[in-house]
Chain A
Amino acid sequence: MTLELDGLSHRYGSERALDDVSLALDDGELVALLGPSGCGKTTVVQAIAGHLDPTAGRVSLRGTDVTGVPPEDRNVGIVFQRPTLYPHMTVGENVAYGLKSGGLTPDRVSERVDRYLELVELADRRDASQQSLSGGETRRVELARALAPEPDVLLLDEPLSALDRGLRARLRDEIVRIQQRTGVTTLFVTHDQEDAMSVADRLVVLRDGAVVAAGAPRRLYESPPNRFVAAFLGRSNELSARVDGGDSPTVTIGGTELAADAVPSELVGGSRAAVHVRPGDLTIGPVQRSDDTLGDGGNPPDRSAASADGGRFGDRPGPIEMRGTVTHVRDVGRRYDVRVEVDSGEMVTVEQNRDGVCETDRVTVTAATNDLTVFSVSE
């Protein structure tokens, strides 16, 4: 393990910032530490870099416990959220700064500065002043400065969040390219799930100072281990579900009553559950004239053909249909976000590619049962 955190906890006064955080990074791995702002991400970064002493726990680099070691003796590279290039030095001097502390000869320093400025494609800006750089160039010089001393671990603390959208995407790719070229073990800290998913080999999700999930981005996205991850990784609708036991157990989701065998079996255990479904997995269709029976077939949209025969207690899991009223249609460019208040009173967002519904329209919202993720609610 290149970097290992073991039971890291930290308090600021009486406020708990980190609670028993453990994680490990393999050599050359790019791991994203993802969580909402204020969840303790920066505290983790500071603890790894040695800028704060954790209340409890251990930080190890390449197998050595460095918990009490000052930052200058740790060989950790760090890029902060806000630019930290030295205004009283040129671009080249900034990159050389971390090399001069290491006792390299001036020739070696100069050669290394050239190499790393080339890596970030800024070789021609070596003598430029920091003030003449654009936002993206500043970031790249900071990357070069952090990488030049060849650190064991590179910490990127929200490196993209101060940039505008277009630049962000480009720099994100750049970071991945540079990370692959250098093979440096990297912890990429971000609150943006899109950034995290697109760069990382592995995700670690932090919430209120504790790790709530870890694993491959795609796996966490598709089968989130808990409600928080489901809601935080991409957009998600949460619906409450009520389970009624008895001879023919039924489950009610968003006002639709289903036979228990029509829904994932995890649901039937407790009496209450939360169901998550991605806005893109929901479809909207018109409500049938015979408004009184649920799911009486007719014209279900797209994927629900299998159960369109009105069999509420069908043999195989069919779609869930919920009646509701459109409360808001938001045009976000490449799609429409339609907000629907289903008859249970809950709000869901449906992503739609075409226009066609208006506010106050009565609609049917349909979800395939295999697109539902179910979490039991303990209360």
Chain B
Amino acid sequence: MSLVDATRSVTRSRRLPPPLVFGLLGGILLVYFALPFVVFLGRTGSVPVVEALLETASRTAVRNSLLTAPAATAIATAFGVPLAYVLARETFPGKRLIEALVVLPLVVPPVVGGAMLLSVVGRFTPIGAAAARVGLPLTDSLLGVVLAQTFVAAPFVVITARAGFGAVDERLERASRSLGYGPIATFRRVSLPLASRAIVAGIVLTFARAIGEFGATMMVAYNPRTMPTRIWVDFIAGGIDAIVPLALALLAVTLVVVVTVQRFAGVPSVVDR
């Protein structure tokens, strides 16, 4: 046995099996995820959650969030899924640039994104002024909230849907064309159903991001308050305990939507197998 072999066999026997190492490293992160949830939720006992949520300010915030986040998600989906399909299927000059543009809102800090949005739709910009004149102010309005949420959250649906379309073999579409279906019918009957899992995942992510959006919303529409902006205001005034009720509500809404959408989004059962 050579010297190298000898040292190798010694270290091998001392080494922990890889699954255990990976499990330990992952476990530390999991504890770090779980701990805040547990401790934070532990405070709920000492706070009158229901009473706090029934206050007008809280009810308005919940209502505003439930109006704006689905709207932003719908807009992001309606415009994002077609964009995702084009990005997955076509090659054209400048495609890299467009792909970078799609990711940009993800990497720009939301507060900065909000400031940039303000520079386009702010009250004293041409667009903002024109909208305000016809009675649809784009700042400090629910519309403003939707704009901010869409800007920040839409990349999620574009990116996941694009990956979903990319995973659909193009030959399935070609076969459909040769079986008598035009491009739109093929998209509807083949590409869309086969990418539906990815698209639904993208919608869920977009919604979760939109309803929790704070940074850009704060810049564009600090009023009317959504759940996140209300939480900020409550926190400044009353500390952590003051925000427990709304935080719980936000958590609950997000969870319910995520579970519901994943359950009933018409994901074909054959694909699951």
Contact = CB atoms under 8 A, between A and B. Distances in A.
Interface of A: 49-51, 70-72, 74, 76-78, 80, 82, 84, 86-90, 97-98, 101-102, 129-131, 145-146, 149
Contact of A72 (B169, B181, B193, B270): B181
A82 B271 contact: no
Given A80-B171, A129-B270, A98 B177 contact: no
A101 B179 contact: yes
B82 interface: no
Interface residues of B, number: 21
Given A80-B171, A84-B172, A87-B194, A51 B177 contact: yes
Interface in B189-236: 189-190, 193-194
A78 B174 contact: yes
B183 to A, nearest CB: 8
Contacts of B268: 87-88
Contacts of A88: 193-194, 268, 270-271
B240 interface: no
A77 B174 CA distance: 11
Contacts of A89: 270
Contacts of A97: 176, 179, 189
Contacts of A77: 178
B26 interface: no
Contacts of B189: 97
Contact of B175 (A50, A84, A102, A129): A84
B271 A72 contact: no
B18 interface: no
A373 B62 CA distance: 87
B180 A102 contact: yes
Nearest to A103: B180
A90 to B, nearest CB: 8
Nearest to B180: A101
**Nearest 5 Cβ contacts at the A-B interface:** A101-B180, A98-B179, A71-B177, A88-B268, A84-B175
B181 A80 contact: no
Given A87-B194, A88-B193, A82 B270 contact: no
Given A51-B177, A88-B194, A98-B179, 10 more contacts: A49-B174, A50-B177, A70-B177, A72-B177, A76-B178, A87-B270, A89-B270, A97-B179, A101-B181, A129-B270
Given A80-B171, A82-B171, A87 B271 contact: yes
B27 interface: no
Interface in B248-273: 268, 270-271, 273
Nearest to B196: A88
B179 A49 contact: no
B173 to A, nearest CB: 9
Contacts of B271: 87-88
Given A49-B174, A70-B182, A84 B270 contact: no
A243 B131 CA distance: 91
A72 B194 contact: no
A98 to B, nearest CB: 3
B212 to A, nearest CB: 33
A84 B169 contact: yes
Interface string B127-167: 00000000000000000000000000000000000000000
Interface in B31-86: none
B7 to A, nearest CB: 43
A87 B174 CA distance: 15
28 contacts: A49-B174, A49-B178, A50-B177, A51-B174, A51-B177, A70-B182, A71-B174, A71-B177, A71-B178, A72-B178, A72-B179, A72-B180, A76-B178, A78-B175, A80-B171, A80-B174, A84-B171, A84-B172, A86-B190, A86-B194, A87-B194, A88-B193, A90-B270, A97-B176, A98-B178, A101-B180, A101-B185, A146-B178
A102 B175 CA distance: 15
A123 B134 CA distance: 65
B181 A131 contact: no
B269 to A, nearest CB: 9
Nearest to A74: B178
A86 B178 CA distance: 14
A129 B273 CA distance: 10
Contacts of A149: 179-180
A374 B103 CA distance: 64
B12 to A, nearest CB: 40
A87 B271 CA distance: 6
A88 B192 CA distance: 11
Contacts of B185: 101
B270 to A, nearest CB: 5
A88 B270 CA distance: 6
A131 B181 CA distance: 24
Contacts of A145: 175, 179
Nearest to A145: B179
Contacts of B175: 78, 80, 84, 145
